Structure 1
Amino acid sequence: MAKPTTVKFGQFFVRLSDGAETSTFTAPCGFTSKSFNRSKTFGETNVPDCDDPDAPSWIERDVQSMSGSISGEGVLAKSAIPEWEAALASSDSIECEVEFVYPDGDSDIYTGSFHVESFETAGTRGERVTVSVSMQSDGEITYERTTAP
């Protein structure tokens, strides 16, 4: 059995654009967990069996829409606050990049515009202040695999 190629946590990046014409993406500091999710919504149609109307019908599904979300949790890092505040304050979505870097140097990169849906901070006596961020896609998310030379 061949062992699969996997990605370490430190090679899973969530980066926000600086909004410049030639974007620079930076990963805000502080996440200790993060996730990237893509999903579809469907229209469903019950399609009967014309030869046997008493037979159970089958559901056929057509894609109506696609969506993505990014979320993360961790410690509240002073250096990350201005980036998150700018993204949250904007009524426009911001460009984001999610990248998985493999040990051989190959990468899977997803790019799209996202709105910051929520930015929650919490604190418990005797512990560090934490942050939880949720983002929702605004339009198409593109995918590209780059290979190391």
Structure 2
Amino acid sequence: MPQQKGRLLLIKIGDGAETEVFANLCGFKTQTFNLSASEVDTTIPNCLSPGDAVQRTIEPGIVNRTFSGTGAFVSGGTQAILMGHVRGGTVFNAEVIVPGDGEYAGSWMVSEFEFSGEMEGNMEFSATFGAAGPLAFTAEV
């Protein structure tokens, strides 16, 4: 399998229309997609031999899917849609494209958003998106 380019790790924001159109959220210079699950401890000591060493066992608990990134704030239509959701604290449809893996689509929310900038630099932003409902996964072909 060929090496994947980090810049192709994308989040696409839906426009909320009846026939929803998704557009890339531009400006990211660094982005991360996290797939994790909490651990549920299922360890039970050996009842027949309680003095034996106890083997810790676990099973997956709550799964977590987050997309985060930092970059240049680029004004425009998709950024305006996102900022409406950030200000309103609302859920929206989005697609996260993970090169070499696939697409995670469904309801998302912005859990953190921050503007930053230096006096002589461009305005930057950072954002963290969390899944707000079950996500549909489509594997890359």
In the TM superposition, 1:1-149 aligns within 5 A as 4-79=1-76, 80-101=78-99, 108-147=102-141
Change (3 A) 1:123 1:91: closer
Q: What is the CA-CA distance between 1:142 and the residue it aligns to?
A: 1.9
Give 3-state SS (helix, strand or coil) of 2:83's partner. helix
SS at match of 2:86: helix
The answer as to whether partners of 1:28 and 1:83 remain within 8 angstroms in 2 is no
SS in 2 for 1:10: helix
Tell me if the contact between 2:43 and 2:58 (Cα under 8 Å) persists in the aligned partners. no
Task: Give per-residue Cα distances to partners, 1:85-129, cap 9 Å, x unaligned.
Answer: 122134431111111356xxxx72111211111220111122211
Aligned length: 140
Q: In structure 1, how many angstroms separate the alpha carbons of the residues matched to 2:42 and 2:5?
A: 42
Q: Secondary structure at the match of 1:85?
A: helix
Structure 2 SS opposite 1:56: coil
Question: Cα RMSD between the aligned structures?
Answer: 1.9
Quick one: distance in 2 between partners of 1:23 and 1:96? 10
Which segment is superposed worse, 122-131 or 81-90?
Answer: 81-90
For 2:135, what is the secondary structure of its paired residue? strand
1:131 Cα offset (Å): 0.5
Q: Which amino acid aligns with 1:34?
A: Q
SS at match of 1:46: coil
- SS at 1:16's partner residue? strand
Q: TM-score, normalised by structure 1?
A: 0.82
Which structure is higher in strand share?
1
Distance 1:120 1:113 in 2: 21
Gaps of 5+ in 1: none
- Structure 1 position 84, deviation (Å): 2.0
Aligned-pair identity in percent equals: 22
Specify the code of the residue in structure 2 equivalent to 1:18.
D
SS in 2 for 1:88: helix
